[in-house]
Structure 1
């Protein structure tokens, strides 16, 4: 693992977190690769070739407030040209209809280095579910 690679990966995630709070979709999407494969919590099972800025603009627009994006338990493994990380993220804020959001999501992000820059090539977000009811578990103590 390279310390510089880990630092750069962490910086991409921190930049995105700050951008969500400012409602800045372009900055939040800047770390994505053109060949991004996305397994998102909402929407279709697999997203490829979708404009990540447009997707984030639509998501951010559904909130009245900035979006809280608290990363917890981040672990990064970075090699020479590939890196991956996994973490928990708490999404919070107030939606346009007044709904208060406060939920934990599991996330895995894979990155590739091209030249001096790391870009996100795959992202997977999920929520656990209760096997007895089939309902998502979005709240609770970690």
Structure 2
């Protein structure tokens, strides 16, 4: 894990998040988000406000998964001097604590980032699944 002030690009910050999630290292994850991050995650409520709420979501994941695999595809960033936004597709999968392997599902992910003291930190993220308007449910079997 890199130390603060060494995240050279938004994509590198996201790579560090993925490495921290695979290692189940919440302290490393904490370093990669702003303290006031707003997260629109796939589970309720509609928004998770602040780093503690963001980390609480990952604690839930780690209580279910013995081994975490996190994949990211087609990540694209638009970057300015102090802000960046990016989007791609992500899949959380792995091995559950009971030994069951799970393939997970692909979701859409969006990142809003700010450059603070030379670091690209995630200030906003959103994870979503497409919605079938006719039957009122999320569509979770799509692949990028």
Q: Which bracket does the TM-score occupy, shorter chain normalised? A: 0.7 to 0.9
TM-score by length of 1: 0.84
Structure 1 CA distance for aligned equivalents of residues 123 and 143 of structure 2: 31
1:110/1:141 CA distance change after superposition, 3 Å: closer
- Which residue of 106, 109, 113 corresponds with 1:107? 109
Match of 1:129 in 2: 131
Correspondence 1:68 to 2:73: no
Correspondence 1:58 to 2:43: no
Alignment of structure 1 residues 1-142 onto 2, 5 Å = 8-51=9-52, 52-65=54-67, 67-96=68-97, 98=100, 100-142=102-144
Aligned length: 136
TM-score by length of 2: 0.83
Structure in which a larger fraction of residues adopt strand:
2
When the two chains are superposed, the root-mean-square deviation of aligned CA atoms in Å is 2.0
1:53/1:140 CA distance change after superposition, 3 Å: closer
* CA positional deviation for 1:101: 4.2
Structure 1 CA distance for aligned equivalents of residues 51 and 14 of structure 2: 20
* CA positional deviation for 1:59: 2.1
Preserved CA contact (<8 Å) 2:21 2:29: yes
